[in-house]
Chain A
C-alpha cells in the first residue's frame, strides 16, 4: 500500500523537483550571454583618448583599483537611459572607465558636455577593436574589473539603482 502511494505521488514529486529550474528559466533573459572573459585579464589594446588625439591608453589603466568598464555610444538609447545613474555612481566614488564604441568623436564629446561625464578615462574605439576582443555584442555593457585588471563580471543592458544594488554592488564591493 505504501509503495502504491509512493508510486502515485511520484509525478508530483518529480514536478516539485523541477520547479526551481522552471523558476530560474522564467526569470532569465535568453539574450543575456555570459562572457567567456570572466576570470581573464582585459585584452591588450592601444586606444586613443576621446578628448586628446595624441594620448594613447593601454591595458595598464585597469590595474590598481577595482573599477567599472562601461561600453557606450551616442547611437544607443539605453546608454542615455543609464547615463544619469552612472553620474550618481561616479559621485559616490565608483571609478568608471568609458569605452566609446563605434561612435562619432564630436557627438560623443557633445553628449558628455550636455549630460555630464562620469568617466575617469574615456577610450575612443571607432572601429570596435577592443569591443570585439571583449566580445561586446550590444551597448551598453558594463564590466566589473578588479585591481589586477581581471574581469570579474559582465552586465548586459543598462545599469540602474535596482540591478546595481541587487547584482553588481555586492560583486563590486567584494572585489579586491
Chain B
C-alpha cells in the first residue's frame, strides 16, 4: 500500500512538472487555473492539453489563461475567450452542438431501426409464409390419415 502511494506521488508530480511557477491570489484561482489548463486543448499539438504541452503556443495559452484567471474571470469566461479565437476544437469537453448530437444519437438510431427491422421480419415469416405449401397440404393430410389408420 505504501509503495502504491509512493508511486502515485511520483506520477502526479511528473504530471504537473510542465507547469511553470505562477502565483495566485487564492486557492480557488489556482484550482481554476489547474482545471482550465487540463481541459483546454493545444491546437498545435492536438493530443495534449495546454498543461502537458511544452509547445510555444501552449505556453502562450497558459500565460493567457493565468492572466484571465488572475483578473477574476470565471471558468465560462475563460473558455468563451479561447473558443472565440480557436473554436470548439480548443475544448476537450465540447458543448452539445447539432454535429455532436449526430455522433451521440446515431448508435441509438441503429439499434432502434435494427430492432424494428428484426421485429418486422419475424412477423412476416410467421404470418405470410405458410410452413407447408398448398399442394403439399393435401398430401400431408392423406399421409396422416393413412398412419392413423395403420395404427388402429
| Chain A residues within CB distance 8 Å of chain B | 30-31, 33-37, 102, 128, 132-135, 137-138
Contacts and interface: CB of A to CB of B under 8 A. Distances in A.
Interface string B17-46: 000000000000000000000000001101
A97 B84 CA distance: 23
B44 A137 contact: yes
Given A137-B43, A138-B44, A36 B60 contact: no
8 contacts: A33-B86, A33-B87, A33-B89, A36-B83, A36-B87, A128-B60, A132-B85, A138-B57
Interface of B is mostly: helix
Interface of B: 43-44, 46, 56-57, 60, 64, 83-87, 89
Nearest to A134: B85
A135 B57 contact: no
Nearest to B85: A135
A34 B87 contact: yes
Contacts of B44: 137-138
A31 B44 CA distance: 8
B67 to A, nearest CB: 11
